[in-house]
Structure 1
Amino acid sequence: MEEKQLNHFSHEEHPLILSELRKENDDGSIDRKFVVCYGCQEQILDPAAYCCFACHFFLHKRCAELPRQIRHPMHSQHDLVLLGKPPYYSRSCICDACGQDDWKFFTYHCSLCEFDLDVSCAILDQPEILEQREIELDCHHHRLIQLEKPASFLCDACGKVDEDSSYLCPTCQFWIHKKCALRPTKVKHKDHNHSLQLAYSLPSDHRKFPQQCSVCWKKVRLRDWVYYCGPCRYFVHITCVVISQKDEEQLREDIEYPISGEQVQNVVKLPSNNTAQELIARFLLKEDEISNSNDSVKSNIPEEIFLISHRKHPLVLLEKVQNLDEIESTTSDDQEEAKALLVCDVCIEPICSSDDPHYYACAECGYVVHLTCSNLPPKLHIPQHPQHPFSLMHNPSAVGHFTCQACYRWTNANYYNCKPCELSICIKCASASMITSSVKHDGHKKHLLAQLQSSDRIRCTACGGYTYGGGFGFACEDCHFYVGYNCALLPPTTTQRWDKHPLLLIYPPYFEHPEEFYCVLCEKEINPNHWMYHCRECDYSLHPLCIPQIGRVKYGRFLNVNNHSHPLTHVPEAKYKSFCGSCNNRRLDWEEAFECDSCRFYLCPDCAYERELTDYEE
């Protein structure tokens, strides 16, 4: 081996000679000198090293050739200078990377900050390994350097603080976990039909509305790395994606409803077209009668009754026709009118012939009531408000609007009221609050729902609004899925007057529908993370609350007001170029109003309430 000398600053007494440390004997055995590198204090296993045998001083070839000055990612503001030993009075230091104390050997040092690294932590000592430890990512302009020793820090990729190996940008302090840096760009997830693409921030096309992770239901922040399916608007945090086949097999069973055969009959299934009546029946009947009501029970139904909410005339038991074609009407308009009139005046829900066609009606007033609603208890103890009982109330006003404090919708239905607390709840929400079993809702097929336990305001997953204080809603705590009564009790289908097709209640993610959704009634864009009604044949959508019949108001009631000789009819939409005849000619085009057909006279609901002639029967 050709002799190579090196004058090294760490050993100025003698030059260092590049020497072989192992020798092969004639019998094939190898003699190896056991020596330790002064610079890094590790055993020298290389065939050769720089040596001063007189002083018993040795250096790895790589340690002897270390650069005297570097810029390190852990201290990028200043250069670090290589010293033969720490410059302090004690001749020792603490490594600012690994915390090793009493270090007395090669040290990269910043005199301005008294920052020190031993050579093992200053990974720039191995250029050939350094190449393997540097990576480039599409999301960052600079190369990232791997730090070997685990560190606890806030990751710029997943937003979590974990102790892990990491990659750091020496230029701008961009710091991410190693497991995040090595994420695959495309994955399959058990809950979605399509491959998910890795994005280093929330894609710009999806920033109009707040996005939620479809696994943990927490917000996807603008700078979060995320896996997503663009056409379906499906987003998952990178830490929420199940990649391993083992984990996926363990979780796959959790997709179905975890209910036994004995539980099926006690689980409330939503959505339903007859929700109010089904729920009322549950707390009116004993549990063993819920699915066993028979003809003998129905034969005891009285033919005529009086209700406190309608004491002028008796209500007579009638039966709704099974098909509108059976109505002796000559035009489809007459049939639609007959259909529209059959709305219960107590709960403001349609009287459907698909279940029990019997109902009570007043022939003179057009007042109709479900069989179930005719048996509502005058007092009700609602679990969410155990302080006082609620009394069944009705508003004799034809306008009759009040705001339900469970679903926060305007309605002219009857209601339950807690007088001491001034708390009023509509019939439908009161019946929902009496559910003691689990709820199976198509909007969340992964698990069953239970009554919401918290009385705090919680954001409804279905509409993005808040479920107001009182706990009037359903929840899956495991998935952070919350839905207020307002959305949970929506019917699965509804109709619009101009469309012969049914409107279906649909839930995100909306597979294979990359186009934006706009409500055809209010003409505003619909948040694709929320529930909506959709016509598949015509491909148009609507906000649930934009549909008149979803608003829980019964139209068609008559109202007498002062200073007008004819009765006014409550209509969901005033005609084009209509004005309120009382409040400064307010424009009422297509808005709820009280209308006089004879005079083309209109009043808005507020003015109708003020001018109503209050001749209520006591």
Structure 2
Amino acid sequence: MGEIDKIRDGFLGAVKLAVHRHFLFPTNISSKCRVCSIERLEPTKVLTCNQCEFSLHEDCIEITSPSHHKHPLKLHERIIGYRRRDQCCLCRYKLLDMFYNCSRCMFEVCMACLKRPLLIYKTTSHKHPLSLMPIDSVSFTCDACGSVDNSSYPCTCLQCCFIIHRDCIDLPSVISINRHDHRISHVDILRPEEWICGVCHKIINNQYGAYSCSVCHYAVHSKCAIRDDVWDGKELDGIPEEEGDNKTEDITPFEVIDDKVIKHFSHEHILRFIYQDVLIRDENQRCYACVLPFYYDACYICTHCDFILHETCANLPRTKRHELHKNHFTLYPNPKPGEDLELSKSFFTCVACQRPSNGFRYESGNVKLDVRCATISDEFNHDSHLHSLFILSLFPRECSACDQMVYGSLSCVKLDFFLCFKCATLPKEVFNKNDKHPLYLRYSGYRYGNYWCEICEKPTDPRKWFYSCDKCCSTLHIDCVLGKSPYMRPGHSFLLSSREFQVVSNNHTSRPFCTICSLRCKDAFVLKSKDETDTSCLCSLKCLDSLVMSMQRIKL
């Protein structure tokens, strides 16, 4: 094939260029150039294709341009095996069809930018025209974002001694981010005082552009504010606040009926406030929202059924923002008995802690948070660490407590410390049937020596977190105390192929055998069929998933 190409390359002066898939033949016949879109009347050397309507001037194959004065630019066609870069160096848009390239500098420019002057007239960042300088070797501080890098070409205004990244010339003026309740606006300079970025929590240079709040003392780096995981991409300049913000009207979660009596949006009956100062050790009495046991303290209870809410859970807002998603979340209760008992709607997995739950959830699209993780926002303090923790990014980090790699963790800006949501939401005080005293969560380094778990009788690692009883000097693994699915509420029902299952306490003398794994159910809760003639029993949601998959295979 190579020999044939060589013969054809010389036939009638045919040439093969990277700009076109077919051979091109020289001609003096005037025709419209595919590159410059001009049909010259004077004699001009033209290359044309005999198989398709493609023509171009010979002097359009290689040109010199003010946008790249160092070397000549050669014409390329993107569809012919070119994968170096997919965007124009000037406008940052995707390269389409033909473009010019400098192989020495890795510089590519689209046809549209090649025809434009290197002068940008209308921008949101500056009142004067800006001159684009396509020089990537210049390091400078951008007046709009305050960062020092050469990742984007500089644009300058000689009248104002103003310099800005090409990528920053059209920064949005007014936006709403998931780190702050108010709108923030881009300003050229901040007030002369210390400012800490509300996203990365690093110092902001007040001499450069940033986003600030007009209502309170809050500011964000320009680049941090427009991150994909922070901003929803909507420009709110000129849009009324009640229309432009991605949130619903602020609705209170309950209506006050009388003194210490409320009507909560999640329940059909009225709830009465009580303060329980006597310890109740009933694992079945759990808050319908957070699904944690109710031992003592303030709560709202229903006088008609077993519905109960912690006082803090009853006051959870109907809508809220959170750092794990750029859109607002809405609070949803779990389906009530007799309503929608579909398995997919009865349980959900929290995107933060990756634990299944059947309690209340905050939902935004396909993203679901349990109420425990949703309350961790902004500045968070945990007893295991000296400094405040923040959700800085969604990049994977290794949790300093459990050594698991997780996406979206709590970070310390001073030390190399990360905490996953699963560890951050562990209850600090729990009760267990193996000990009559309260068990407290202990952190790494609390004790050193050889210890054994009182439940599984296996060694406990003092470098890991664990529960302990100070009076009995006992230590217990976290998983042994909480179980595989600690956030399951007893009494909750769901349907599986017209069969109704229920979460029940596994507190009998004899442990049942799991229908799927054939092992004894050791967890605090099991899933049992409500049909008395059906003896099916599942030890965990993992076995439930296995049952669902086997049923799907049978249908196929």
- Same fold, judged at TM 0.5 (above): no
Per the normalisation by structure 2, the TM-score is 0.44
TM-score (norm. length: structure 1): 0.40
Q: Whose Rg is larger?
A: 1
